[in-house]
Structure 1
Amino acid sequence: MSTEVLEARATSLRAVWPAILGLSVVFLVEMLDNSVLNVALPTIARELHATASDLQWVTSGYSLLFGGLMIAFGAIADRYGTRRVMLIGLTLFALASLAVLAVRTPAGLIAVRAAIGVAAAMTAPGTMALCFRLFDAENLLMRATGFISTVGLVGLAVGPTVGGLIIQVLPWQTLLVLNVPVVVLATLCIRFGIPADDPAHRNRTPLDLPGALLGTATIILALWTASLAVEDGLLAAVPWLLGAVAAGVGFVVRARRTAHPIIDFALLKRPLVGAGLAYQAALGLGMAVLAYSVSLQLQLVWGWSPAQAALGNLPQVITMIAVGPLVEGFVKKAGAHRAGIVGAAAVVAGLLLYGLLGRYGYLAIAAALVLTAAGMRVVMVIATVTVMRGLPADQTSTGAALNDTGQEVFSSIGLAVTGTIVASALSGSLADLDATAAHGFENAVTTATLVLTAVCVILAGWAARRSAAHSLADHGSR
């Protein structure tokens, strides 16, 4: 059966449920591996005699390679088959997860995490690219995108909790070994639920290997710079920042001089693509400041326990899950352009509420979490669909990778900005705040939130203008 026939028949999610299940599981395991191992770090430190630096690489190794390699593997998938690259990535994911059973040293665990990061980068671009292969109707694309992203967000939210429960009764290695049956399920669903890649739809241009290496170096160095800025301060990150800038300049020069760049900058000028990526960047910044600040404020300033702080973040998780099924109807009624503006406005309103009133009581924090979560849920789906709809058929995997990488990079930048502002306001450790230091922490959080909110407004405003330009052009062509 050809891809075109399947697309014509896919008039509901139920008609292609194995494919949707498989793609959802892939996204779930990617999100789980972002956070599930963090809860076991003290146990890992004791059993493997790991240093603080070792633990940092255990957590960073996955995210650096995952974020840094997505664009390169997206370009590879467009040329050699999106489904094929995803299935290879899933196989590597399972084998690397099983390899944890042989780990006896911190270096061994770092290598395992790095291999899993590479595997995740191979699978990530295909999640949305293969989803868009299944449907023509935009409402079905939004419904499928919303369902897949909801599964992933739930995994990200419950990962630490589930991990904590598991290591109470089982060895910490179980947290990675459990990837194997999940990956097997995903592999079966994708192999039998999605048709083989159609050679006619592949990108026939040669792969720009130097551009891929420069792009990967730029992203990895940028993510590492952001991580160092949070952990060790801005001065420690400056050399790596210079390296990221140099690699970035080299990437841009290469892209402008080669006939077939890994990312064609002309695509970014398309209204749909530019709008979607700008929205994703704004979301990355907004999610970062809340992820960094809320839990710290609840525990360090107000004295809540870790369990209470986890419960304090529940309004965000519940809202994202609850709003998911409503996005399609809202977008259909308001239109994608207006829905994007409303969603972005909700995010900005939530950030302002947290930045200005969050220090005065939990009710303001809860309301801020609800507003930002609802807005993010709407904008996330619209941005993804917008980017994918604006791309040529033979560059969807690259576009999906660019979409995900943009949000991850801006999230890291948001974390670095917030962490740097907070660190500059405090002279001592975050672990022991007196009344004066607590007041300084809250002032720093307010400053960071307002700074990042201002950038979010600029990005969202630009995205809305690009979206409006497309709407006018589309209306004029009818």
Structure 2
Amino acid sequence: MTTTTRRSPRTLREAWIALAGLSAVFLFEMLDNSILNVALPTIGRELDSTTAGLQWVTGAYSVAFGGLMLLFGAVADRFGRRRVMLVGLAVLALASLATLFVTTTEQLIAVRAAMGIAAAMTTPGSMALAFRLFDTDDLRVRAITVISTAGLVGLAVGPTAGGLALAVVPWQILLLINVPIAALAFGGIRAGIAADDRADRHHEPIDMWGAVLGTSTIVLALVTPTLFVEVGAGSWMPWAGSAATLAAAAGFVLRERMARAPLLDLNLLALPLVSSGLAYKAAAGLAVAGLSYLVTLQLQFAWGWPPAAAAVAMLPQVAVLLASGRFVGPFVQKVGLDRAAFASAAAVVSGLAVFGLLGRFGYGWILVALVLVAAGMRVVGVVAGTNVLKGLPETRTSMGAALVDTSSELATAIGIAVTGTLLAALFSGSITAADWSRTQVTQFETAVTIAGVTLTALAAALVAVGLVRSRGGTSQ
């Protein structure tokens, strides 16, 4: 059967089985880390983990996920998006079941790395499959909105559900929940999405040297920022990591320019819709990461709020994320993809600017910042990804989805690195100390302001790039 004889669904209802499966994939991605974080103290005690070991329980997942997305995007475009996703879901179920046999921190880290590999195989493909399932931008936006809503539900309920579950069940159950989610996703995708069509695939061989250099670049870019926070800018280690990142990136670019069949055709990044979508997504990732990190520190360390009160203070953001889903489609339909992407990215940047400049003056300003960022993020995540996939050939949609997720992961790492480094440089003493002196309070407020303004400037620059590039694509 060829793509020309397939009838695309005319409504979301017609594709509900496929959308249920794809939504389960996003639910796994968002629920997995959020539900596990609340269990880290329990895991640390039961497995006698070190601080570094406990950090890698979550870090192994992020590094494997972020580092392998480009490779598996290329694999999916060549061997079939549906096929690679189904294999990834099987890997997820098996890795989750392996949690039953974990007795050491190292074993758990290996399990988490396997889950990261599964996420790299499944997450980009879910956006690509949803995009190609429909023929119109309206249905594509609505479908991706439905899928992302499932992920946001997982992100919102994960910590609360995990905390309640730990009162009555062992921590392993929090990872075993992935097994039924993977089964739901597997069944929905297998039943609701047609088998991969050979005509939709990219037929060039995979550039293995490009894959090694690209994966190395992303892994180093994700690990290096943590070194600036952990050992400080005075150590040689983060600077060596930065040099290695740049060297790997330069090698990757050189390889992709010379390869007959590159892993990532760099000319695709120059396409207006692709470059603008990636810039908007990176701006949002940078702002969201910085705001989440800084607000948590502001409420609990500077103002002395208990964790429960801080969690309640973040609820308006969760409410906006969940409630605004129904407005994304009509808003995009009214103003168009390009204007929606710019407006939503600008809202995210504005929220970060409000916090950086005014957050120290009371929770009311933090509330404004949280609402602006949540409203903007809800839209930009959908439309930026849609723009990227719309601007690519049909044989490269998995790679495009992988690029969207990679840009967000890298921006998140940079946002945390910038805020952590500035706080470490400007704040004297231990930030976790119970009682701060007046000088330390002033230092913290100054550091937060500088970090907020710095991230705002970086994010605003990315939005400007996105705006300029999107105007270059209006003629397409």
Give the TM bin, normalised by the shorter chain: over 0.9
Conserved? CA contact 1:346–1:374, under 8 Å: yes
CA distance in structure 2 between the aligned counterparts of 1:9 and 1:469, rounded to whole angstroms: 30
Aligned position for 2:36:
37
Aligned position for 2:294:
293
Say if 2:464 is the partner of 1:461.
Answer: yes
CA distance in structure 1 between the aligned counterparts of 2:312 and 2:232, rounded to whole angstroms: 30
CA distance in structure 1 between the aligned counterparts of 2:196 and 2:343, rounded to whole angstroms: 38
Percent identity between the aligned chains? 55
1:345 deviates by 2.3
CA distance in structure 2 between the aligned counterparts of 1:345 and 1:122, rounded to whole angstroms: 31
1:449 deviates by 0.9
Say if 2:318 is the partner of 1:317.
Answer: yes
Conserved? CA contact 1:2–1:195, under 8 Å: no
Aligned position for 1:344:
345
Aligned position for 2:425:
424
DSSP 3-state at the match of 1:304: coil
CA distance in structure 1 between the aligned counterparts of 2:79 and 2:140, rounded to whole angstroms: 24
CA 1:248–1:160 in 2, change beyond 3 Å: closer, same or farther? same
Conserved? CA contact 1:203–1:394, under 8 Å: yes
Conserved? CA contact 2:277–2:384, under 8 Å: yes
Say if 2:223 is the partner of 1:239.
Answer: no
Q: Which amino acid aligns with 1:343?
A: S
Conserved? CA contact 1:70–1:401, under 8 Å: yes
CA distance in structure 1 between the aligned counterparts of 2:29 and 2:185, rounded to whole angstroms: 12
1:6-25 residue pairs with structure 2 within 5 A? 6=6, 8-25=7-24
Q: Which amino acid aligns with 1:18?
A: I
Aligned position for 1:396:
397
Aligned position for 2:197:
198
1:83-102 superposed Cα distances (whole Å, 9 cap, x missing partner): 00000000010000000110
Aligned position for 1:229:
228
DSSP 3-state at the match of 2:38: helix
DSSP 3-state at the match of 2:304: coil
1:357 deviates by 0.8
Q: Which amino acid aligns with 1:168?
A: A
Aligned position for 2:332:
331
Conserved? CA contact 1:19–1:193, under 8 Å: yes
Q: Which amino acid aligns with 1:312?
A: A
1:175 deviates by 0.6
Moved over 3 A (4+): 1-6
CA 1:9–1:258 in 2, change beyond 3 Å: closer, same or farther? closer
CA 1:52–1:260 in 2, change beyond 3 Å: closer, same or farther? same
1:317-356 superposed Cα distances (whole Å, 9 cap, x missing partner): 1111122211111111112222222222212221111111
CA distance in structure 2 between the aligned counterparts of 1:67 and 1:18, rounded to whole angstroms: 28
Q: Which amino acid aligns with 2:199?
A: A
1:55-114 superposed Cα distances (whole Å, 9 cap, x missing partner): 111110000000100010000010011100000000010000000110111111111111
| Higher mean C-alpha displacement, 405-414 vs 242-251 | 242-251
1:253-280 superposed Cα distances (whole Å, 9 cap, x missing partner): 1001111111101101111001000101
1:4 deviates by 4.5
Aligned position for 2:69:
70
Aligned position for 2:213:
214
Aligned position for 1:125:
124
Say if 2:90 is the partner of 1:91.
Answer: yes
Aligned position for 1:361:
362
Aligned position for 2:172:
173
1:309 deviates by 0.5
Q: Which runs of 5+ in 1 are unaligned?
A: none
1:158 deviates by 2.4
CA distance in structure 2 between the aligned counterparts of 1:4 and 1:435, rounded to whole angstroms: 70
Conserved? CA contact 1:218–1:244, under 8 Å: yes
1:269-318 superposed Cα distances (whole Å, 9 cap, x missing partner): 11100100010110111011111110111111111111111111111111
CA distance in structure 1 between the aligned counterparts of 2:461 and 2:123, rounded to whole angstroms: 28
Conserved? CA contact 1:35–1:156, under 8 Å: yes
CA distance in structure 1 between the aligned counterparts of 2:279 and 2:29, rounded to whole angstroms: 23
Aligned position for 2:134:
135
DSSP 3-state at the match of 2:190: helix
CA distance in structure 1 between the aligned counterparts of 2:45 and 2:473, rounded to whole angstroms: 56
CA distance in structure 2 between the aligned counterparts of 1:438 and 1:42, rounded to whole angstroms: 28
Q: Which amino acid aligns with 2:148?
A: S
**TM-score, normalised on structure 2?**
0.97
Say if 2:255 is the partner of 1:276.
Answer: no
The alignment covers a number of residue pairs equal to: 472
Aligned to 1:437, which of 437, 440, 443? 440
Conserved? CA contact 2:278–2:404, under 8 Å: yes
1:3 deviates by 4.8
DSSP 3-state at the match of 2:204: coil
CA distance in structure 2 between the aligned counterparts of 1:14 and 1:244, rounded to whole angstroms: 46
Aligned position for 1:186:
185
DSSP 3-state at the match of 2:473: helix
Aligned to 2:451, which of 443, 448, 451? 448
1:2 deviates by 5.6
DSSP 3-state at the match of 2:166: helix
CA distance in structure 2 between the aligned counterparts of 1:4 and 1:401, rounded to whole angstroms: 26
Q: Which amino acid aligns with 1:467?
A: S
Conserved? CA contact 2:3–2:199, under 8 Å: no
Q: Which amino acid aligns with 1:428?
A: G
CA distance in structure 2 between the aligned counterparts of 1:144 and 1:252, rounded to whole angstroms: 34
1:34 deviates by 2.4
Q: CA RMSD in A?
A: 1.3
